[in-house]
Chain A
Amino acid sequence: MRDFINRHEGLWLFTRSPAVIIAAIVAIAILFGALFAPWIASVNPYDLASFSLMDGLLPPVWQEFGTERFLLGTDDQGRDMISSILYGARLSLMIGVSAMIIATTLGVGLGLAAGYFGGRFDAVVMRIADIQLALPAILTALLIDGIARGILPTEMQQDLRVVVLTLAIALSLWVNFARTARASTFVEMNKEYVQAAVMQGQHPLRVMFVHILPNILGPLLVIMTVDLASAILLEATLSFLGIGLPADSPSLGTLIRIGMQFLLSGEWWILWIPTLFLVALVVSINVLGDFLRDVFNPRLR
């Protein structure tokens, strides 16, 4: 075991940084909880029959009137907070991860091609990226939401909220990937192994994806983690503002919006517990992202 850790620099650094270990544990615990929410949570917050108004506004177990049935209390509808948060995290993570994957595919593809071909194609792609950067994510989301409302029949709109939200987030994140991929590709293009491949007459797609892509994965991986955190935050923001998911399928942002009503009313747990949960998730992902950056960039060490 020791030997194995010593041989891999990343692992070795990992064992020496307590903050990163804690972040990894938190992130993995949340991921696990979200993945297995249906089996862990005591009630299904989407199923109206599984909870009762009689249990409404119960505080966490350590406070007066708290019960062991609801460890972190309940909201005004009588929903168990733990169950809501786990289901909420499930939805948030699902949207965050899929948005990140779409953004990565789109951004890396365009960035690689822009860096490889250069010239006019590069100029066009990067100007589009500049325009995208000038549009706030919320505006992009509203735009896509508006378009979706306009062209989709009403009955489909509710079902497609998640898709619309994911696309909106992905669209506002791809620029990062495109810029990084393009800059790294420029650097790799000057290296001799790429010149060797070009010189031999290999297909441009092969040069891009088989030769260059594996060599620029490091920085991209860092952006992927950092942008995953942004995607989750963006989803929370949009849901908080009411553009995102409706109250009957609560994500973390929706939970926080519901909790806002109770901010000063004494039922603090309804707002603070999902908020702290979101903060813990985003901070731990960011810490992991910073750690990855250090591993891939020895000069910062």
Chain B
Amino acid sequence: MLRVEKLTVKFASRFGDFTAVEDMDMAIAPGEIHGLVGESGAGKSTVGAAIIGLLQKPGYVAGGTMTLGETDLRSLDRFEAHVLRGKRISMIFQDPQTSLNPLMRIEDQLIETILAHEDMPVEDAKQRAVDLLEEMGINNAADRMQSYPHQFSGGMRQRVVIALALCTNPELIIADEPTTALDVAVQSQVLDLIRRLADVHKVGFMLITHDIGVIAQIADTVTVMRRGKLIENGPTAEVLGKPKHDYTKQLMNAVPPLDRKIDRFMVPNSEDTEESTTNTGEAAKDWLLEGEKSAPVGLTLKDVSVAFPGVRTSIWKRPTPFVALEDISFDVAPGSVMGVVGESGSGKSTLAKALTGLVKPVSGTMTLGGTPLPGGKDRSRHHPSRQLIQMVFQDPFSSLNSRHRIGAILAEPLWLYGLVDDEDARRKLCADMLALVGMAPGAIDKYPHQFSGGQRQRIAVARALLARPKVLICDEPTSALDVSIQAQLLNLLKDLQTAFGLTVVFISHNLSVVRQMSDDVVVLRNGRIQEQGGSEQVYGAPQADYTQRLLELTPAMPKEWLAPS
């Protein structure tokens, strides 16, 4: 049905043309789900945009052919392309929050789309809309249709978006990261829906995603892309199960398995790290070990609750507080890794903020190695825990001050805590530390924007280590990274943790990643602990219903496809 041959897309820029996609081949049959995987910047979304004719300026199709059925997609003029969009090709975007008009009722959005492409009475269009929503699994659709988008939950909203894409009976639907913004449970429902639509309606799906687990679960065929080039394509089981190309192999090796813990990811350090031969960071290592002479310390939380002021509904009544964390108690043994998992809104990040003193718990006690840890503003700027607890943040693009040089960023903890007084010595140590985390020491004079996400995250780790911490809190440190970079960073964190006996609190929504990292696990949901215990025990024999369901719904790959441990 859809045939793409030798597709080349270029972007005009002030440095001349930049080739985003080169010689891309792809074919999608009716009822087929075709997965398009690749890391960020691989050109996946560009391929989708080129097919549907929504390529943003200054991008343009420089060569190749694209045909849908008998129609040559490249020869269409603007008007024809407009008619074809929606009628024969639809698109589902990543964020259901922004792809629906917040000021229009669902009903009006659906009817508008149907009438734009088909001439029929409004009543019929309405009936079609109701039927579609029912089919999407929205109960009582005739009533629910009167609601506005904000009255639906994220998963429901994505169903409405899918209904919107489907309401003109298109032949092909391009889904660009349709489940990335959703939680595991909702993701699995949406994926089931897509599978069913492909089977029942014989719609072809092009599923663009960075998540190989999703592809493995529902795609019939898969195309692996890298830097705008086609690496490998074919049936999913063949490409992912018996990859021929080295890059696909590396990609599969980097996927953290859910069902077992592996010691290290078998990934080569890619171009991302610049290993230096002259400086291996030994000096930084010695310096850190010198600070680690005293025994590692543990972290204990007892009945910690955090509440935020709620929305005021009346002038007279006090607003009911929103409880983000309720009676959280756990022990992190000295030198061990505690994993914290939970879906969005479960209070994971609030926990990190409570530990680092950014928010103040309303009740409960926190202790660090036996000494009490005051919360929020009660923790003075000179409290020893300011140094002992360090954090690695989620977003490597905002966690480093973009106006400061790497050297200045790294040196901050050194003078702040009075660890190294001499400026030259500080500079030397920062360079050594960069080498220790696998970066070229020359990075010291550059600015953060000159580095990729993975490299910045390494810098963030270096900054945390330069404070000589005892406890490291990692809040979703890899969720903004590609799998291969994620694997490298996880390797690095593991190495550093064992070398320096750090106590780590590792927070993530990704169950597989947490399994690889942690000794003990806490499962959070809506601010409460659902289950806690040794990592192997929780993953191997989950007790709580919630944990069982989470583990079941996480897209996993057949065991034999993944790297042997």
Contact = CB atoms under 8 A, between A and B. Distances in A.
Interface of A: 6, 9, 12, 191-193, 195-203, 211, 214-215
A201 B403 CA distance: 20
B382 interface: yes
B395 A199 contact: no
Contact of A192 (B357, B383, B398, B404): B398
A198 B393 CA distance: 13
Closest 10 CB pairs of A and B: A201-B386, A214-B403, A192-B399, A192-B393, A201-B381, A191-B398, A193-B401, A199-B356, A192-B398, A6-B14
A200 B398 contact: no
A200 B401 contact: no
Contact of A199 (B358, B400, B403, B404): B358
Interface string B382-402: 110011001101110011111
B316 interface: no
B338 interface: no
B383 A201 contact: yes
B553 interface: no
Contacts of A195: 358, 393
Interface in B395-426: 395, 398-404, 412-413, 416
Contact of B416 (A193, A198, A200): A200
Contact of A201 (B394, B395, B416): B416
B383 to A, nearest CB: 7
Chain B contact patch, size range: 20 to 34
Contacts of B383: 201
A220 to B, nearest CB: 13
Contacts, number: 56
A215 B390 CA distance: 23
B399 A193 contact: yes
B15 interface: yes
A1 B80 CA distance: 45
Nearest to A3: B15
B467 interface: yes
A193 B404 CA distance: 11
Contacts of A200: 386-387, 390, 412-413, 416, 467
A215 B401 contact: yes
A6 B356 contact: no
A196 B399 contact: yes
B394 A192 contact: yes
A193 B400 contact: yes
A192 to B, nearest CB: 4
Nearest to B356: A199
Given A192-B394, A196-B391, A201 B400 contact: no
B58 to A, nearest CB: 11
A93 to B, nearest CB: 30
A200 B14 CA distance: 41
A201 B417 CA distance: 9
Interface in B345-359: 356-358
Contacts of B463: 196
Interface in B464-487: 467
Contacts of A9: 14
Contact of B14 (A12, A191, A203): A12
Contacts of A193: 398-402
A199 B401 contact: no
Given A196-B391, A202-B381, 20 more contacts: A9-B14, A12-B14, A192-B393, A192-B394, A192-B398, A195-B358, A196-B399, A196-B463, A199-B358, A200-B386, A200-B390, A200-B412, A201-B381, A201-B382, A201-B387, A202-B416, A211-B404, A214-B403, A214-B404, A215-B402
Contacts of B404: 211, 214
A211 B391 contact: no
B467 A6 contact: no
A51 to B, nearest CB: 52
Contact of B391 (A191, A199, A201): A199
Most chain A CB within a 10 A radius of its CB, from B390, B394, B412: B412
The residue in A6, A196, A202, A211 that gathers the most chain B C-beta atoms within 10 A of its C-beta is A196
A203 B412 CA distance: 12
Nearest to B399: A192
A214 B404 CA distance: 9
A202 B398 CA distance: 18
B48 to A, nearest CB: 22
16 contacts: A9-B14, A191-B398, A192-B393, A192-B394, A192-B398, A193-B399, A193-B402, A195-B393, A196-B393, A196-B399, A196-B463, A197-B401, A201-B381, A201-B382, A202-B381, A211-B404
Contacts of A191: 398-399
Interface in B206-224: none
Most buried by A among B387, B390, B403: B403
B398 A198 contact: no
Nearest to B463: A196
A203 B416 CA distance: 10
Contacts of B358: 195, 198-199
A195 B390 CA distance: 11
Nearest to A211: B401
